[in-house]
Structure 1
């Protein structure tokens, strides 16, 4: 059993997560949108070129092309068609039942939101900056599951994770969904962390306490 001192330093609300799309992604997508010269273009101009190439297409067609590029191995053609139409009306990235796809759907949504100047709903992500310092025991790198369990004491009862996964976040049982809820988790020193997730999962209003203590128990494997 480990005791931690937790400090939530800041939560940034962002429209896009920097660095998610690589130059290679832009070049591949440009090809799919009938712009074959992406590979020879100036790297810094790739996002702008892609936005221009995308905007020649109908929004739902463009959505289907980007969805196929990112999730074609997980979704059927019918599902892609359905999502590409729904994306124009709803924040599919917050509502899609397969939680592990929500992060990718967010990045796709925001790429299209920018390219079409707002025809798609604007979804937001939260970047949470926090520290978790053990007050007993050795320092170790925490997993997404560890982090959510430790954050539990600082979250309000209105928080969506708490409402949907109350026992997983508060009890000593496995919480496999944590890996899908947290899109990115980074640390350089195993004390100061940044996590990226949907504003729908954690936002500024969800934080009750900015400094608190939590206990991390070893999750017992359910035999």
Structure 2
């Protein structure tokens, strides 16, 4: 057993990072998610095919008006089909379009990689129907992460650096204890972290669901993060 453990330790290395949390902000929508092309395409699907000359603000207002001609679940089904027809079956879309009127499906759906697109669909519908759909929220976390090796972090590595600065009750820590604290693969990191951006490999901006992380989950603004990796 000692020989096996010794071999395992030789194959692993612990990378240390200095983490400084700069800001965490709660948002209801990402203004950059839906493109002009999306609005034009959706308006055509909802019966307004001649809207190409309008700006995004006008297109969004017109889309809200177009949605009102449909029952909420019908509008949701059209939107989900447009965005997720390659990921979901017709039956799944019908089920979700009804369920999302009652629950935050964008937080509860078992396929984590679909949480982000479901969130964006949910919020468009929430605002168009004046709250008939539950209001979900996202967070933008800004932090500085430094290490001896100034390499850009993957989504998986980024989440692992957060571990030591999160409460024990944080959902990521509770559901993914092994990948957060060992070198185990963490494929769900790509679904948990919606966007991860950096211009200098030190200052990061991460977008995720409030379901996974909010201000109360942070127990320290500065700490040492650790990431276990294969040597």
Instruction: Map Cα deviations across residues 101-126 of structure 1 (whole Å, 9 max, x no partner).
Output: 01100000000001011000000001
- CA RMSD, 1 decimal: 1.1
DSSP 3-state at the match of 2:88: coil
Question: 1:9, CA displacement in angstroms?
Answer: 1.0
Give 2:128's aligned residue: 115
- Residue pair 1:30, 1:36 contacting (<8 A) in 2 also: yes
Change (3 A) 1:23 1:208: same
Residue 157 in structure 1 maps to residue 157 in structure 2? no
Q: Does 2:154 correspond to 1:143?
A: yes
Question: What is residue 74 of structure 1 aligned with on the other side?
Answer: 87
Whole-angstrom CA distance in 1 between matches of 2:108 and 2:228:
31
**Post-superposition offset of 1:32:** 0.4
The residue correspondences of 1:119-130 to structure 2 (distance < 5 A) are 119-130=132-143
Find runs of 4+ consecutive structure 1 residues off by over 6 angstroms: none
Q: Which residue of 1 aligns with 2:219?
A: 208
**TM-score normalised by L of structure 1:** 0.95
- Of the three residues 17, 29, 46, the one matched with 2:59 is 46
Alignment match, 1:10: 23
Asked if the contact 1:8–1:129 (Cα under 8 Å) also holds between the matched residues in 2, the reply is: yes
3-state DSSP of counterpart to 1:186: strand
Q: Give CA-to-partner distance per residue, 1:68-108, whole Å, 9 cap, x none.
A: 00001111111100000000000000000000001100000
**Deviation at 1:160?**
0.6
Matched, 1:61 2:61: no
Q: CA deviation at 1:18?
A: 2.1
Where does residue 182 of structure 2 map in the other structure? 171
Query: Structure 1 residues 166, 101: CA separation in 2 closer, same or farther (over 3 Å shift)?
Result: same
C-alpha deviation, 1:215, in angstroms: 2.4
* Unmatched 5+ stretches in structure 1: none
SS at match of 1:20: coil
Instruction: Specify the SS of the correspondent of 2:51.
Output: helix
Are 2:15 and 1:37 equivalent residues in the alignment?
no
| Structure 2 segments unaligned to the other structure (5+ residues) | 1-13
Bigger Cα Rg: 2
